[in-house]
């Protein structure tokens, strides 16, 4: 039996926005027929690594083409120049792709990418799953619930589920505004567990497609523990720049720790004098995002995302 991966039709839409003329394309893959369709994207932020695209690949490779009851469209490399630079935003115009929807066909590189995703990407699709995730500098472990998208979000084996802010200028926010059902997944990142997290994202995709009727119900997918709801999320950032030294490891992502626990600290970069400590702020603190490695950080850099279990 052929898999969806073998049957997928790929097309490259030229971006034409750089001086390396005609070299960069936005690649969209498509398979299936029928009314119902889902767009799955990965790499909207270029420093969030290859794990989302890898999870899409794992999904497509593991899916029997005859089990598909609708249309699957994928954009695994949604922001090629940002991926190449391993930066959140492409160096060519420094715009955040997830803040410029619906984009502009005649705009700069990032605005053109947004325009293609908003038109050729979203066209005739009722569902959108946007894979973000940890990256070269952090690991994270949660899924965003957006209005009308609870069941889609709860299909993912994420440790935590969090209400998302509605942002019309993001891919999922714009898709919501068009009336689509959406979720954004924040799982994975560089660590010794990267393959494990990619498998979990792939399992979540499979369960999500089953839930919305794009995969036949008889195609078994492993059961999961439902994500734990959390609220009052907060970002912990250093007050001044220096060297960051972690006190919790990548294995702690997705866990709940006791209040006051030391998470990491900032050191003066020459003397290594302690500048400040990061501690778990809530009596029970859910770890949604952390940095597992030493790094130089500027003041205000995102260092932890924490929340309170409901």
In the sheet with 274-279, reading across from the earlier edge strand, the strands are 274-279, 262-267, 242-246, 295-297
Smallest separation (angstroms) from Zn ion to the CB of 41: 11
Residue number, 45 or 207, with CB nearest to Zn ion:
45
Residue number, 132 or 190, with CB nearest to Zn ion:
132
Window contacting Zn ion (CB under 5 A); options: 74-82, 132-140, 160-168, 174-182: 132-140
Tokens 């497609």, residue located: 209
Smallest separation (angstroms) from Zn ion to the CB of 305: 12
Alpha-carbon distance of 8 to 189, in angstroms, equals: 27
Smallest separation (angstroms) from Zn ion to the CB of 205: 17
Smallest separation (angstroms) from Zn ion to the CB of 4: 25
Alpha-carbon distance of 97 to 277, in angstroms, equals: 33
How many other β-carbons are positioned within 10 Å of the β-carbon of residue 80? 20
The Cα-based distances of 43 to 70, 84, 234, 262 in angstroms read 24, 11, 24, 32
9 phi, psi to nearest 5 deg: -95, 125
Window contacting Zn ion (CB under 5 A); options: 13-21, 104-112, 130-138, 233-241: 130-138
Smallest separation (angstroms) from Zn ion to the CB of 97: 9
Smallest separation (angstroms) from Zn ion to the CB of 88: 7
Does 100 bind Zn ion (CB under 5 A)? Our answer is no
Q: Restricting to residues 11-50, which ones interact with Zn ion according to CB under 5 A?
A: 45, 48
Smallest separation (angstroms) from Zn ion to the CB of 188: 11
Residue number, 79 or 210, with CB nearest to Zn ion:
79
Smallest separation (angstroms) from Zn ion to the CB of 48: 5
Alpha-carbon distance of 57 to 77, in angstroms, equals: 11
How many other β-carbons are positioned within 10 Å of the β-carbon of residue 30? 16
Window contacting Zn ion (CB under 5 A); options: 8-16, 66-74, 124-132, 243-251: 124-132
- Across 166-181, b (16+ Cβ under 10 Å) vs e yields ebeebbbbbbbeeebb
Residue number, 115 or 132, with CB nearest to Zn ion:
132
How many other β-carbons are positioned within 10 Å of the β-carbon of residue 10? 10
Residues binding Zn ion: what is the number (CB under 5 A)? 3
Tokens 């220096």, residue located: 242
Smallest separation (angstroms) from Zn ion to the CB of 109: 18
Residue number, 60 or 164, with CB nearest to Zn ion:
164
Does 132 bind Zn ion (CB under 5 A)? Our answer is yes
Residue number, 76 or 242, with CB nearest to Zn ion:
76
Alpha-carbon distance of 189 to 183, in angstroms, equals: 19
First to last CA, the chain: 45
Alpha-carbon distance of 145 to 161, in angstroms, equals: 7
Residue number, 32 or 159, with CB nearest to Zn ion:
159
Window contacting Zn ion (CB under 5 A); options: 15-23, 57-65, 107-115, 129-137: 129-137
Q: With left for phi above 0 and alpha for psi between -120 and 50, is residue 214 left, alpha or beta?
A: alpha
Window contacting Zn ion (CB under 5 A); options: 55-63, 131-139, 167-175, 302-310: 131-139
107 burial type by CB count under 10 A (0-12 exposed, 13-18 middle, 19+ buried): middle
Does 154 bind Zn ion (CB under 5 A)? Our answer is no
- Positions touching Zn ion (CB under 5 A) are 45, 48, 132
């Amino acid at each position: 039996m052929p898999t969806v991966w073998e049957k997928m039709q790929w097309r490259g839409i030229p971006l034409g926005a750089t001086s390396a003329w005609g070299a960069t394309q936005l690649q969209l893959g498509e398979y299936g027929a029928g009314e119902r369709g889902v767009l799955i994207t990965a790499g909207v932020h270029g420093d969030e690594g290859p794990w989302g695209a890898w999870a899409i690949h794992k999904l497509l490779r593991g899916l029997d083409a005859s089990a598909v009851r609708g249309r699957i469209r994928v954009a695994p490399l949604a922001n090629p120049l940002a991926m190449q630079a391993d930066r959140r935003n492409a160096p060519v115009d420094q715009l955040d792709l997830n803040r410029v929807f619906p984009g502009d066909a005649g705009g700069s590189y990032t605005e053109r990418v947004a325009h293609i995703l908003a038109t050729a990407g979203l066209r005739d699709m009722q569902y959108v799953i946007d894979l973000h995730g940890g990256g070269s500098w952090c690991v994270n472990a949660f899924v965003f619930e957006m209005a009308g998208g609870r069941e889609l979000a709860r299909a993912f084996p994420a440790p935590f589920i969090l209400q998302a802010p509605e942002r019309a200028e993001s891919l999922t926010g714009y898709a919501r505004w068009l009336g689509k059902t959406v979720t954004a997944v924040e799982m994975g990142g560089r660590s010794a567990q990267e393959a494990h997290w990619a498998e979990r994202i792939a399992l979540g995709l499979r369960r999500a497609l089953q839930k919305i009727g794009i995969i036949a119900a008889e195609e078994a997918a492993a059961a999961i523990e439902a994500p734990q709801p959390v609220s009052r999320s907060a970002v912990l950032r250093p007050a001044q720049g220096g060297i960051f030294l972690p006190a919790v490891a990548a294995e702690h992502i997705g866990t709940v720790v006791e209040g006051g626990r030391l998470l990491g600290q900032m050191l003066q970069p020459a003397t290594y004098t302690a500048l400040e400590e990061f501690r778990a702020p809530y009596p029970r603190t859910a770890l949604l995002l952390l940095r597992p490695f030493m790094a130089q950080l500027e003041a205000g850099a995102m260092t932890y995302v924490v929340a309170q279990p409901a």
